[in-house]
Copies of this chain bind each other. A is one copy, B any other.
C-alpha cells in the first residue's frame, strides 16, 4: 500500500514540486548532460546561488557537493583534524560522527547526554582541533540551541566548529560567525530523493586543510577540500556527480525561495506547536524530550510506550507513515518529521489522530 503522507524523518516525503521537476529534467535531457558542459555548470551555479539565498549564507562560505552526510562526517575528520576532535552527542548520530573519527585514527573524545536530553548549556570542551555538534539529533528529537553553539565558539575561539544540520535545514537561523562548517543531506528538510550531501565550509576550513596537506597529512583524494573547491570555482565537481540530485536541489530551493524561508519557518513552528501540544495534552502519550529548550521543531519524537505498535498501525490505516523509534527506542517511541514538505493540514490531521487515540 502506498501511503498518502510520509512522516518518516528521512528519506521523507518528497517536496510537492519534485515529480514535476523530474519530468521536466527528462524532457530537457538532464540525466545525459556531461558534467563538464556549460549546461551542467549553469545547474551547479543555480543550486549554489539558491542555497546561499535560502540559508543567508555569508560570502566567505563555499557550497560543495558530496554524496551523503555520512560521507561528510568522514571528509570533515580527514580534512580538518590531524589528531583530535570533540563530539557532543545526544543520540545515535552524534555518536556515529565520533565513531567515524575514531575509525579514522583520531584520538577523539565524546561528551554524551542520556537519551532524550540535550545540551541546554555549553559543556566544558577539552583542548581540541574541532568541536562537532549535532544540531538536530534525528534519533531522539533533541536539538542544540544556537546560543549554545555560539557559547562553545566563544569559549573555544581557536577550534573549528562543525555542525551536523542534517535533519534541521533549511529551518534554522544559524549564526554563521560561530560555525566554520555545516552540512545536510537532501532527503530530509529539502524533500528530495536521497543521494546528495551538501557541505558548507568557510575560509578557516580551507586554511586548515591546506596547512595539514602542506605538512604531508593525507586529506583524501578527489573529495579533499582543495579538489572540491578547485572544481566548485568552475561550477563543477571532481567526479561525475549525481547530476539529477543537484538539478532537483536547484529547483526545489528556488521553489522554497518563492514561498519564502520566513513562511517555511513560521509553518514549521506552527506544525511543531500543534504536534507537541497534541502529545502534551494526551493521557497516554508524551513528547520524548522533556526539556522544552532542546526539543527539535523538525523531528518530533513521541513517547508511545506500550501503545507503539497499535498507534503505528492506526496511523498507517489513516494513510500516514510514521518513523519508527531509532535503535533501542524502537519499541517505545515513534518519530514524526516536520519538514517543509509536510503541510499544515497534514500535521493537523496527524495531531487529530494522536489526540483521538485512546
Residues of B within 8 A of A243 (CB): 11, 193-195
- Indicate if the CB atoms of B71 and A67 lie closer than 8 Å: yes
**How many chain A residues have a CB neighbour from B under 8 Å?**
57
Bound together, the chains give a CA A224 to CA B70 distance in angstroms of 13
- Indicate if the CB atoms of A14 and B32 lie closer than 8 Å: yes
A68 nearest in chain B by CB position:
B239
Are A241 and B195 also in contact (CB < 8 A) when A74-B220, A218-B104, A222-B74 are? yes
- Indicate if the CB atoms of B240 and A11 lie closer than 8 Å: yes
Asked if A100 is at the interface of the complex by the 8 Å CB criterion, the answer is yes
- Indicate if the CB atoms of B22 and A8 lie closer than 8 Å: no
- Indicate if the CB atoms of A105 and B218 lie closer than 8 Å: yes
Are A242 and B67 also in contact (CB < 8 A) when A19-B26, A104-B218 are? yes
Minimum distance in angstroms from A47 CB to a CB of chain B: 14
- Indicate if the CB atoms of B22 and A26 lie closer than 8 Å: yes
- Indicate if the CB atoms of A221 and B73 lie closer than 8 Å: yes
Residues of B within 8 A of A69 (CB): 239-240
With beta carbons under 8 angstroms apart, the residue of B100, B103, B195, B220 that contacts A244 is B195
Are A67 and B195 also in contact (CB < 8 A) when A2-B29, A34-B8 are? yes
- Indicate if the CB atoms of B14 and A31 lie closer than 8 Å: yes
Which of A12, A239, A240: most chain B CB closer than 10 A?
A240
Minimum distance in angstroms from A119 CB to a CB of chain B: 24
Asked if A263 is at the interface of the complex by the 8 Å CB criterion, the answer is no
Residues of B within 8 A of A26 (CB): 19, 22
Are A242 and B240 also in contact (CB < 8 A) when A26-B19, A34-B11 are? no
Are A70 and B239 also in contact (CB < 8 A) when A31-B194, A193-B31, A221-B103 are? yes
Instruction: Using CB atoms and an 8 Å cutoff, list the residues of chain A in contact with chain B.
Output: 2-3, 6, 8, 10-14, 18-19, 22-23, 26-29, 31-35, 67-71, 73-74, 77, 99-100, 103-105, 185, 187, 192-196, 218, 220-224, 238-245, 323
List, sorted by A's number, 24 A–B pairs whose CB atoms are closer than 8 Å: A2-B28, A2-B29, A8-B34, A11-B32, A11-B243, A12-B32, A19-B26, A31-B193, A35-B194, A67-B68, A69-B240, A70-B238, A70-B240, A74-B222, A100-B222, A103-B220, A104-B220, A195-B240, A195-B241, A195-B244, A195-B245, A242-B242, A242-B245, A244-B244
